[in-house]
Amino acid sequence: MKRFVTFEGIDGSGKSTISKLVSERLRSAGHDTIWTYEPTDSTIGKFVQECIRSQTDPFITSFTFIADRIQHCKHIQQWLDNGKIVLCDRYAESTYAYQAAQLESELEDPLKWLRELSEGRILLPDRTFLFVIEPKIALARIQHRTELIPFERVAFLEKVHKNYLKISKGKRFLKLDATQSIDQLVQLCYDDIVQETKKK
């Protein structure tokens, strides 16, 4: 069974809705499940949210997202040690996709820099779902939100989208077509998480 699972995608990709429904489904099936998210509600997480709103220097934003994650991992490790399944709405790939887009004119290889800051300090998920959707479609889905944050602009999200596709390679990643129905997506994620239990 996959124990630490992360949900990634651009704003409006639907990953929050789906990850919450998957967590409810796991709980109903008797699995002790925690649903969590980043940026967190901790003091550092609140500072991160302020960095986004006020368009703070991208280096400061990057450091604080990573600091929030390092702190978050201490809780995630405890939950895993206590036998829980942990579903996390956004995690390291959000930093690699969004902050690499922010830093592309500042550094030659922002992804390498961001990875070096993180690796060895954060936990590796068993599975990362990437919700793939065209930025224009995703943005149309969230137009009703009263206050769109600076990251929710099409040109920026195009870069983030490309970064996500570039970094989501390897066995840990499962790319999902985010335009499928909610029921289909929940089923796909649920089946994938519980799959290995059945095989054992």
Where along the sequence are the contacts to ligand TMP (CB under 6 A)?
A: 11, 38-39, 52, 65, 90, 94-95, 98-99, 149, 151
* Closer residue to ligand TMP, CB minimum distance, 65 or 129: 65
* Closer residue to ligand TMP, CB minimum distance, 31 or 128: 128
Rounded to a whole number, what is the distance in angstroms from the first to the last CA of the chain? Answer: 9
For the bound state, the minimum distance from the C-beta of residue 145 to ligand TMP, rounded and expressed in Å, comes to 9
126 within 8 A of 171, measured Cβ to Cβ: no
* Closer residue to ligand TMP, CB minimum distance, 79 or 151: 151
- Which candidate, 124, 49, 127, 130, places its Cα nearest to that of 94? 130
For the bound state, the minimum distance from the C-beta of residue 142 to ligand TMP, rounded and expressed in Å, comes to 9
For the bound state, the minimum distance from the C-beta of residue 17 to ligand TMP, rounded and expressed in Å, comes to 11
For the bound state, the minimum distance from the C-beta of residue 30 to ligand TMP, rounded and expressed in Å, comes to 28
Point out the residue whose Cβ comes nearest to ligand TMP: 98
Cα atoms in the 13 Å half-sphere on the side-chain side of 29: 15
For the bound state, the minimum distance from the C-beta of residue 61 to ligand TMP, rounded and expressed in Å, comes to 7
Cα atoms in the 13 Å half-sphere on the side-chain side of 37: 13
How far apart, in whole angstroms, are the C-alpha atoms of residue 120 and residue 146? 38
* Closer residue to ligand TMP, CB minimum distance, 23 or 94: 94
